[in-house]
Amino acid sequence: MAIDQEIKKLRQEIEKHNKLYHEDDSPEISDAEYDALYQRLKELEALSSNSKINSPTLQVGGKPKRGFEKHTHLKPMLSLSNVFNDEEFKKFDERVIKWVGENDINYSVEPKFDGIGISITYEKGTLVKAVTRGDGLVGELVTENVLQISKIPKKIETNAPKIIELRGEIFFRLKDFENINKQIEEANGKKFISPRNAAAGTIRNLDIDVVKSRPLDIFFYGLGGHSDDLKIQSYQDFVEFLKQNNFPVNDLIFFSNKSEVSNHVQRILSSRDELEYEIDGAVIKVNDFQKQNKLGFVSKAPRWAVAWKFPASEKFTTVNDILFSVGRTGVVTPFAQIEPVILSGARISNVSLHNMDELKRLDIKVNDTVLVKRAGDVIPQIVKVNFDMRNSDKVIDVNVPLKCPSCETKLILDGPFLKCSNGLNCKKQLLGFFEHFVSRKAMNIEGLGYKINKHLIALGYVGEVADLYKLQRYEEELKALEGFGEKSIDNLFESIESSRNPDLERFINALGMPEVGETTAAALARFFKSFESLRKASFSDLMQMDNIGEVVAKHIVHFFANETIGLDNLLAEINIKDFIVGEDSHLDNLKIVITGSFNGYSRDELKQIIKEKGGIPSASISSKIDFLILGENPGSKLKKAQELGINVITEQNIKEFLKL
Ligand code: IVH
């Protein structure tokens, strides 16, 4: 690659990773990889005579600060094992009794806050550092940011030991979280999905002004490492010590023996909806510190504490309307507009009703009272209608449309799905297709969010996808659009330009064929090697592949025979890279599933490595899978793989397996 071209690419890469790291709080590469990119850019810039005016290497302060200094905790910050009911708690208690050798244990019960753990060190009574949990052993020094939380005492006035680590949870109150998201939305930024994410994004923010502008809050609940001069015998004493020194401590901390624990947990659970912050369970701790020490810990969790996790949050609310929206494949999906409720920290105002069968199953009507549920980050759903609350004078039947709400084409019923068959002539489908086409795992064009896409289509600048590549014609008009600065339009143009040479699998994914997602796109790329041979493929050619079934094969043939995306025009604008297996193809054709998380690699990085070495990253376990790569906190996949006798690669063996 010519130097200037590489410089341009590197700059875009670095800007992208800066944004992922600083604005989205979701880095995709390690600090070491980032440093390598940055170093390479600096070297090349030294060789080039071209201007560096727009380069990230010229930003004020030199290399953008990417991280915080690391710090090792005096005592590790542990995680907790879980129980979900009385029976499981009983087992926990029995284990405690066995280890302690005493029968009647005194416990504390308190809420489990859904925020970000922090360890704050005081030396001779003065706050000297604040460190994030990190991997439990080593965290990041975020002292400056933590100092912005006014509720945290800067000094321990009473009975301060020489050194002490105090542990707590940093979080946002729900109303503050909503305000922050409102401000972000007004500034066209990306909203946080939960108060927890917002707290994480704020405490690790490198811009102190951003931290100052957001009212973080904290509860203290734990003792880390400390010097011997701290004379505290129990958690109860410790809570007293905290209160005496004005550390914020939660009101709902109870002390009792095991017979009352379950009642206290229920008490906390029943106050959950009234709390101004998110909790996701209760934490139960052995009160006596001597007993805690006797119990010690196993793997990464103490034997003296346990989290009693609450079920997913559910709330009743009313249905204000039932409407229909058109998706990119023409499916017209019913959804309920509900009186907004906050579930697991997110404000829910629209809930999908999926299809006509689901509408019938729920027997839902406008003005009904419904139970809405959301488990963690999972999409909200309507569990049931509360028929006892139905007022037959007030409820209104669903008004099922006969014509497409976007283009007025007559709708057809295909199984349980209502469909608009107008393809990309329907503006809503065109918009949906565009969103998919430019998305990160497709053509990866940045700066084309919902809002600008909508403008481009409404103004007629983009009637088919090939028009994206001719957008520079409208440079002046776009720069004059309200809410889109010159710089953002320039960035958009650059991003469009750099998408002109997509990998084959990305491009196949971008086409948005029904049933062809990321995994199938990768398999098609491997098998057909070039776009032209895929395009020419007959039904029986496709059926030669062992991971494609009849339905998918039919969809693909049908797509190429009837496509409405303006494929030829698009192909005239871009240059698709053929699929090439690298020199090391020792994973040739092996189907590999990844589960859990890994130290040092993101899952996307692992997938990329597998692909480069000829393997096929796959989404779910079946008898066709050759290997399961197992990270930390795996879900149900391990059990299924073991049942099917699939080879499991553990984290220790990954390097060897992938030949890294
Ligand atoms: S005690 C050794 N108490 O939950 C355990 N932790 O899953 C010390 N957490 O990393 C933790 N509320 O960040 C404790 N009331 C509470 C808590 C709490 C939230 C978090 C904490 C910890 C995680 C463990």
CATH, range 591-658: 3.40.50.10190
Instruction: Identify the CA nearest to 620 among candidates 633, 601, 604, 635.
Output: 635
Count of CB atoms situated within 10 Å of the CB of 399: 11
CATH class of this structure's domain 423-498: mainly alpha
Domain boundaries, the chain: 3-66, 82-309, 314-418, 423-498, 504-571, 591-658
Is the CB of 221 within 6 Å of ligand 1? yes
Instruction: Reply yes or no on whether the pLDDT at 66 is more than 70.
Output: no
Residues in the chain: 660
Average pLDDT (541-569) is: 92
CATH, range 3-66: 1.10.287.610
Instruction: Reply yes or no on whether the pLDDT at 650 is more than 60.
Output: yes
Of 112, 285, 289, best ligand 1 pocket probe by most atoms within 8 Å of the beta carbon: 112
Higher pLDDT, 44 or 88: 88
CA of 145 to the centre of ligand 1 (A): 21
DSSP class of residue 173 equals: -
Average pLDDT (311-338) is: 92
The DSSP line for 59-117 is: STTSSPP----EEE-SS------EE-SHHHHHHHHHHHHHHHT-S--EEEEEEEE-SEE
**Considering the chain, what is the average pLDDT of its residues?**
89
Cα–Cα distance for residue pair 481/54, rounded to 1 Å: 23
Average pLDDT (187-204) is: 82
Instruction: Reply yes or no on whether the pLDDT at 630 is more than 80.
Output: yes
Residue with tokens 């939660």: 250
Secondary structure, 3-state, 383-417:
EEECHHHCCCCCCECCCCCCECCCCCCECEEECCE
Burial class (CB in 10 A: 0-12, 13-18, 19+), 638: middle
CATH, range 82-309: 3.30.470.30
pLDDT at 62: 41
Helix 258-271 / helix 86-100 crossing angle, nearest 10 deg = 140
The domain made up of 314-418 has a fold known as: OB fold (Dihydrolipoamide Acetyltransferase, E2P) (2.40.50)
Instruction: Reply yes or no on whether the pLDDT at 325 is more than 90.
Output: yes
Cα–Cα distance for residue pair 224/578, rounded to 1 Å: 55
Cα–Cα distance for residue pair 208/148, rounded to 1 Å: 9
Instruction: Reply yes or no on whether the pLDDT at 26 is more than 80.
Output: no
State pLDDT tens for residues 254-289: 999 999 999 999 999 999 878 999 898 999 999 999
Instruction: Reply yes or no on whether the pLDDT at 61 is more than 50.
Output: no
Average pLDDT (388-411) is: 94
Beta bridge partners of 83: 308
Of 252, 283, 295, best ligand 1 pocket probe by most atoms within 8 Å of the beta carbon: 283
CA of 105 to the centre of ligand 1 (A): 20
Q: What's the pLDDT band for 344 if we cut at 50, 70, 90?
A: low
Is the CB of 8 within 6 Å of ligand 1? no
pLDDT at 345: 65
Is the CB of 521 within 6 Å of ligand 1? no
What is the sign, positive or negative, of the torsion defined by CA atoms of 436, 620, 383, 394? Answer: positive
Of 107, 165, 221, 303, best ligand 1 pocket probe by most atoms within 8 Å of the beta carbon: 221
Angle at 133 between CA 96 and CA 200, to 5 degrees: 125
Q: What is the CA radius of gyration of the chain?
A: 28
CA of 112 to the centre of ligand 1 (A): 6
CA 280 to chain centre: 18
Same fold, 423-498 and 504-571: yes
Cα–Cα distance for residue pair 660/655, rounded to 1 Å: 5
> By alpha-carbon position, which residue is closest to atom 17 of ligand 1?
112
CA of 156 to the centre of ligand 1 (A): 22
Is the CB of 303 within 6 Å of ligand 1? no
Instruction: Reply yes or no on whether the pLDDT at 302 is more than 70.
Output: yes
Instruction: Reply yes or no on whether the pLDDT at 21 is more than 80.
Output: no
What is the sign, positive or negative, of the torsion defined by CA atoms of 544, 548, 553, 556? Answer: negative
Cα–Cα distance for residue pair 83/75, rounded to 1 Å: 25
Average pLDDT (608-615) is: 86
Count of CB atoms situated within 10 Å of the CB of 91: 12
Give the pairing of strands 417-419 and 412-414. Answer: antiparallel
Average pLDDT (106-119) is: 96
Q: What's the pLDDT band for 588 if we cut at 50, 70, 90?
A: confident
> By alpha-carbon position, which residue is closest to atom 10 of ligand 1?
79
Average pLDDT (577-598) is: 85
Residues belonging to the active site: 112
State pLDDT tens for residues 485-500: 888 899 999 999 999 9
CA of 415 to the centre of ligand 1 (A): 48
Instruction: Reply yes or no on whether the pLDDT at 3 is more than 60.
Output: yes
pLDDT at 333: 96
DSSP class of residue 141 equals: B
pTM of the predicted structure, to 2 decimals: 0.55
Instruction: Identify the CA nearest to 164 among candidates 249, 233, 244, 229.
Output: 229
List CB contacts of 2: < 8 A, sequence separation 6 or more.
none
CATH class of this structure's domain 504-571: mainly alpha
Helices (H) and strands (E) in the chain, counts: 24, 24
pLDDT at 60: 46
What b-and-e string marks burial along 308-318, b requiring 16 or more CB atoms within 10 Å of the CB? bbbeebebebb
> By alpha-carbon position, which residue is closest to atom 15 of ligand 1?
112
> By alpha-carbon position, which residue is closest to atom 21 of ligand 1?
117
Q: What's the pLDDT band for 221 if we cut at 50, 70, 90?
A: very high
Cα–Cα distance for residue pair 337/322, rounded to 1 Å: 6
Average pLDDT (471-482) is: 90
pLDDT at 195: 85
CA of 208 to the centre of ligand 1 (A): 26
Is the CB of 370 within 6 Å of ligand 1? no
Contact present, 505 and 532 (Cβ < 8 Å): no
pLDDT at 437: 95
Cα–Cα distance for residue pair 646/624, rounded to 1 Å: 9
State pLDDT tens for residues 439-462: 988 999 988 887 888 889 989 999
CA distances to 315, 338, 340, 419 from 380, rounded to whole Å, are 11, 12, 12, 23
Of 79, 166, 247, best ligand 1 pocket probe by most atoms within 8 Å of the beta carbon: 79
Average pLDDT (318-342) is: 93
Cα–Cα distance for residue pair 47/58, rounded to 1 Å: 16
From the alpha carbon of 307, which atom of ligand 1 is closest? Answer: 7
State pLDDT tens for residues 198-214: 999 999 988 889 999 99
Is the CB of 307 within 6 Å of ligand 1? yes
Is the CB of 79 within 6 Å of ligand 1? yes
CA of 134 to the centre of ligand 1 (A): 14
Angle at 584 between CA 583 and CA 587, to 5 degrees: 135
Cα–Cα distance for residue pair 629/601, rounded to 1 Å: 12
Highest averaged pLDDT of the listed ranges 133-137, 187-191, 319-323, 609-613: 319-323
